[in-house]
Amino acid sequence: MREFNLPLFMKVKPGAVKELKENLSLYFPEITGKKVLVLTTEGLLQRLDKKVTVLLSQLEEYEVVSVEASSYDYAVTAAKKTSMDGIRMIIGFGGGTALDTAKYAAFVANVPYIAVPTALSNDGVCSPVSVLFSKGNRMHAFTSKTPDGLLIDTDIIMNSPRLLLEAGVGDIISNYTALYDWELDCRLNHGQPNDFAYMLSERALNALLYSNIKSFTSQEGVKMLAQSLVLGGIAMQIAGSSRPCSGSDHLFCRALDELFDHGLPHGIAVGIGTIGAAWLQKRDYRMLIDFLKDYGIDINPKRRGITEVMFVRAWLFARDVGKDRYTILDNMEMMPRRMKEEVFKELYALMCKI
């Protein structure tokens, strides 16, 4: 039987950072008075100085370090520092760079990890995966750990860039196509499904999809987005892989990242990939488009700066970046390259009409 760890606490509310000491005393009494490493990114300490002051005032001994690079080497260096300096806990305060580095360092050093996200741009906030630059300056997903606790301060989140919140929604809708790809793999390759992980991933999607509150400006809307992203992360932890939330949709995104310097947040690129994947799966993609429009999210690739050449090349390369993951793209493997190019050109033209 596979073991997995779930967060001991999760607070999603205004002023959530005020509850750090209370929750550490309740769930980690052995940490009281011990040294804590706070990993963040340059600029956040100044921009969110009042929240940072509240957070740090609840710690007796701490060291704040700005993450220089979202890389495997840097995360390992942070893990070494944790072990050698007698640090008993790591807190990640920031976006993906700080959180992915913090959770991998905590995983390697075997210490508790608390996540304090400053944006809700993807399900990495609670996933057991750290996406870091590694050999050849390529992004790689490393097995990591889910947070032992989460403090999601909605005051901070509601003041984060709207584009990052749009990216969070884009990442969530990929559950729709990822679950289909996972089922396809299990059916054709006798893979082992996980019904509970499937249910959580589906629930994460449906909670937003069928909600009457599609807003980034209300506490309730932000809370629902946070809960959906966390559910997705827990689904991956239970499944023992990212399959419940990552399929051909994410392969498109990874291919786009490797081939081009496009500048789009992960969740926006994944959202574009999700619409394309749903079309390739011959499923209802219009429902997803309507959902995104309700949020005011533009998923038109051309308006997002993705040319036809970029779009087609990314889809052609997508299977190569995830050969270990069977998706709808494998069903196209026997098609001549020219035919696949025409299919992806048709898809691009369709999406440019959105």
Q: Which alpha helices (H) appear in 148-285, and where do they start and end?
A: 154-158, 162-189, 195-209, 219-239, 248-259, 266-280
State the CATH number of the domain containing residue 308: 1.20.1090.10
| End residue of a domain, out of 111, 126, 158 | 158
Q: How many domains does the chain have?
A: 2
Q: Answer yes or no: do 246 and 144 share one domain.
A: no
Residues 24 and 144 in one domain: yes
4, part of any domain: no
Residue 3 covered by a domain = no
What backbone phi and psi angles, to 5 degrees, belong to 33? 80, -5
- Asked whether residue 276 falls in the same domain as residue 300, the answer is yes
Q: Do 227 and 276 share a structural domain?
A: yes
Q: Please check whether residues 235 and 251 belong to one and the same domain.
A: yes
Task: Tell whether 81 and 182 lie within a shared domain.
Answer: no
d(CA 143, CA 138): 16
Tell me, yes or no, whether 118 and 228 share the same domain.
Answer: no
Give residue 135's pLDDT band: very low, low, confident or very high (50, 70, 90): confident
The residue range of the domain holding 69 is 9-158
Task: Identify the weakest region by mean pLDDT among 96-100, 117-121, 139-143, 243-247.
Answer: 139-143
Distances 65 to 43, 100, 189 between C-alpha atoms, Å: 12, 14, 46
In a domain, 17, yes or no: yes
Parallel/antiparallel/unpaired status of strands 9-13 and 129-133:
unpaired
Task: Out of 117, 135, 158, pick the residue that ends a domain.
Answer: 158
Q: Are 320 and 179 part of one and the same domain?
A: yes
Q: Is residue 250 part of a domain?
A: yes
Domain match, 19 and 104 both? yes
Q: Choose the final residue of a domain: 136, 158, 180.
A: 158
What pLDDT is recorded for position 254? 93
What tokens does 144 get?
Answer: 């990591």
Taking only the tens place, the pLDDT of each residue in 255-264 is 999 999 999 9
Q: How far apart are CA 271 and CA 285, in angstroms?
A: 11
**For the chain, percent helix, then strand, then coil, each to nearest 5?**
55, 10, 30
Q: Give the pLDDT score at 131.
A: 87
pLDDT tens for residues 35-53?
999 999 988 888 999 999 9
Q: Are residues 267 and 323 in the same domain?
A: yes
- Residue 226 and residue 134 share a domain: no
Provide the pLDDT for residue 1: 55
- Share the mean pLDDT of the chain: 94
- Quick one: pLDDT at residue 141? 83
pLDDT digits (tens, 9 = 90+) for 305-319: 999 999 999 999 999
d(CA 35, CA 50): 22
Mean pLDDT confidence for 14-20: 97
Instruction: Identify the band that residue 2 occupies on the pLDDT scale cut at 50, 70 and 90.
Output: low
Q: Is residue 2 part of a domain?
A: no
* pLDDT at residue 190, as a whole number: 82
pLDDT tens digits, one per residue of 145-168:
999 999 999 999 999 999 999 999
For residue 98, tell me if it sits in a domain: yes
CATH number of residue 21's parent domain: 3.40.50.1970
Q: What distance, in Å, lies between the first and last C-alpha atoms of the chain?
A: 46
What is the average pLDDT across 290-309? 96
Q: Name the burial class of residue 154, with classes exposed (0-12), middle (13-18) and buried (19+) by CB atoms within 10 angstroms of its CB.
A: buried
Kind plus residue range of the DSSP H or E element containing 337: helix 337-351
For residue 93, what are its two tokens? Answer: 């305060």
Beta carbons within 8 Å of 246's beta carbon, 6+ residues apart? 174, 178, 236, 325
Tell whether 88 and 187 lie within a shared domain.
Answer: no
- Copy the structure tokens of residue 300: 């038109």
> How far is 92 from 99, CA to CA, in rounded Å?
5
